[in-house]
Amino acid sequence: MSRILVVDDDAAICFALGEYLRNAGHTVEAVATAAAALDRLAATPFDLALVDIQLAGEDGLALLAKVHPRWPALPVVIITAHGGLERAVAAMQAGAYDYLTKPLDLDRLATLLRRALRPPPAPPTTTNAPPPATPAGHALVGTSTVMQELFKHIGLLTTNDLTVLLLGESGVGKERVARAIHENSARRDGPFVAVNCAAVPESLLESELFGHERGSFTGATEQRRGKFELAAAGTLLLDEVGDLPLALQAKLLRVLQEREFYRVGGSQPIAVGARIIAASNQDLAAAVAGGRLRKDLYYRLHVATLTLPPLRDRPEDIPLLVAHFLRQAATRLGVEPPALDDDCLLHLSRQPWPGNVRELENLIQRLCAFARGGRLTWEEVQPHLDPPLPTDRDGGGPETSWERYLRDAVHRLMAAGQEAEPGSGIFHRLTARTEEILLDEALAQTGGNQVQAARLLGMQRSSLRKKLSYHGGRGHECP
């Protein structure tokens, strides 16, 4: 089996990891310092190294910086008790094979070992990227497994110029991720330019993206640079790219293929110097199937794709996000931030958050504006929650469908944690009220005709009459 070097100054961790790895059939050596690790690597060939980021003396990242140039084929896995974007990016840029947080998930470690030790090992990609910067004002926060994976992928994407596609519901933080990629890459000194393709009128969108020459259309009194040109050697975020008109999709495809564009009314090609990041809250594969998105553009964008998790899928991150947004909002407003008790945080973790991180951030800003310090209970926070959104009858998308609306309403009722006697609880109230609404609507649509109402509801007239009798009965028989 494989020979693995464990580098950690915590003897208990070394023992536990050693036992686990030996039971899996590996040969294990453990050392406590970076210097000892370098000595062992120079003396003995190893197949993998597990390195804690916090070591006495020289830390794990400094050790990685020395190991990677000398043994580029050696997979080095960085382990830390404090996961975060900055450290994940630093580790991946320095050449780490992967990045794990404590307490270690042994199933994930086993999967990682199978992948890393699969022969022949692929040499990690080296990079000349500068040291990472700490994104300011829009930090990504989370210790959940999905966020740690996201941090790792952001770190990998900072070492290249691949086109990136960010997918996720509204409010999950797609622009924050795009900024994090930009600010931790070699393009960080260039501009970050974002354009929402759904927010610009179709008649102005081509000029907004590519610019125009003087006299190219009525009102074009001077030359104007577009977003592609303004992004220069930086990063251009095309938000809601799925909303681009088909005619502009063809032009964007050409830009991505040829790396050049023309201003509206222009005859000279202009080279694209920016990295392109696209984002969408739509199911783009479904948009292709529905003829709303060009297939060739979809595949051109679908190079390096990150799918951002909705907030409801990482509830363990909510207390950290609350603390982060409290500090931000209190500083911005110049007030003493309120404190939320544990019961309140528990209830917040159970909310559906259809608006995701943006909705939570807005809530915290409201609390800071109105609470003015003190310790808040759930009863005091609850009135500040956003009301459930009604069904979007025009859009019909997954975020505004009646199923999501109903699920959110049920989630909020259950999150209140109120128990009741049988026959008077949430289930009874919801099912009874839903039946009443269905009956009322069917009778209203059919002018009170029970036969037609039963047909509309897809039930027997006798069943309809029983339910009407149970609920107080109304409507008339068909003559």
Are 355 and 388 spatial neighbours (Cβ–Cβ below 8 Å)? no
DSSP H or E stretch at residue 115: helix 106-116
Tokens, residue 263: 């201003």
Q: What is the pLDDT of residues 244-259, one digit of tens each?
A: 999 999 999 999 999 9
Q: What is the pLDDT of residues 217-237, one digit of tens each?
A: 877 888 889 999 999 999 999
Q: What is the pLDDT of residues 129-152, one digit of tens each?
A: 333 333 334 468 888 889 989 998
The backbone torsions φ and ψ at residue 261, rounded to the nearest 5 degrees and listed phi first, read -150, 170
Rounded to an integer, what distance in angstroms lies between the CA atom of residue 433 and that of residue 262? 59
Are 173 and 199 spatial neighbours (Cβ–Cβ below 8 Å)? no
Long-range contacts of 95-103 (CB under 8 A, 24+ apart): 95/64, 95/68, 95/124, 95/125, 95/126, 95/127, 96/64, 96/124, 97/48, 97/124, 98/152, 99/148, 99/151, 99/152, 99/155, 100/148, 101/143, 101/148
The three-class DSSP label of residue 76 is strand
Helix residue ranges, H only, 302-341: 318-333
DSSP H or E stretch at residue 52: strand 48-52
Percent of all residues in the chain with a pLDDT value above 70, rounded to a whole number: 86
Are 265 and 212 spatial neighbours (Cβ–Cβ below 8 Å)? yes
Rounded to an integer, what distance in angstroms lies between the CA atom of residue 95 and that of residue 76? 8
Rounding to the nearest 10 degrees, give the CA dihedral for residues 273, 275, 280, 285: 90
Percent of all residues in the chain with a pLDDT value above 90, rounded to a whole number: 48
List Cβ neighbours of 83 (8 Å cut-off, separation of 6 or more): 99, 101, 142, 143, 147, 148, 151
Distance of CA 352 to the CA centre of its chain: 15
Q: What is the pLDDT of residues 272-282, one digit of tens each?
A: 999 999 999 99
- Strand ranges in 216-328 using DSSP code E only, listed in sequence order: 235-239, 260-261, 270-271, 275-280, 304-307
Q: Which domains are assigned to the chain?
A: 3-116 (3.40.50.2300), 161-307 (3.40.50.300), 311-389 (1.10.8.60), 426-470 (1.10.10.60)
The phi-psi region of residue 248 (left if phi > 0; otherwise alpha if psi is between -120 and 50; otherwise beta) is alpha
Q: In what order do the strands lie in the sheet with 304-307?
A: 192-196, 235-239, 275-280, 164-167, 304-307
Burial of 411 (0-12, 13-18, 19+ CB in 10 A): middle
Q: What is the pLDDT of residues 1-27, one digit of tens each?
A: 799 999 999 888 888 898 889 888 899
Choose the most confident range, by mean pLDDT, from 354-358, 418-422, 444-448.
354-358
Does residue 77 have a pLDDT over 90? Answer: yes
Which pLDDT belongs to residue 227? 95
Residue 303: other Cβ atoms inside 10 A: 13
Does residue 335 have a pLDDT over 60? Answer: yes
Average pLDDT, the chain: 84
Does residue 455 have a pLDDT over 80? Answer: yes
Which pLDDT belongs to residue 140? 83
Residue 248: other Cβ atoms inside 10 A: 17
List Cβ neighbours of 247 (8 Å cut-off, separation of 6 or more): none
Which pLDDT belongs to residue 136? 36
Side-chain-side CA neighbours of 188 within 13 Å: the count stands at 16
Which pLDDT belongs to residue 473? 60
Q: What's the pLDDT band for 174 if we cut at 50, 70, 90?
A: very high
Rounded to an integer, what distance in angstroms lies between the CA atom of residue 126 and that of residue 46? 20
Are 2 and 48 spatial neighbours (Cβ–Cβ below 8 Å)? yes
Q: What is the pLDDT of residues 257-266, one digit of tens each?
A: 999 999 999 9
The model's pTM is 0.64
Q: What is the pLDDT of residues 355-394, one digit of tens each?
A: 999 999 999 999 998 876 688 889 889 888 887 655 444 4
Rounded to an integer, what distance in angstroms lies between the CA atom of residue 377 and that of residue 371? 11
Does residue 405 have a pLDDT over 70? Answer: no
Q: What is the pLDDT of residues 280-307, one digit of tens each?
A: 999 999 999 999 999 999 999 999 999 9
Does residue 322 have a pLDDT over 90? Answer: yes
Residue 258: other Cβ atoms inside 10 A: 11
Q: Which stretch of 115-124, 202-211, 432-441 has the lowest confidence by average pLDDT?
A: 115-124
Which pLDDT belongs to residue 402? 52
Rg (CA), the chain: 28
- Please report how the helices 85-93 and 60-70 are oriented relative to each other, as an axis angle in degrees rounded to 10: 20
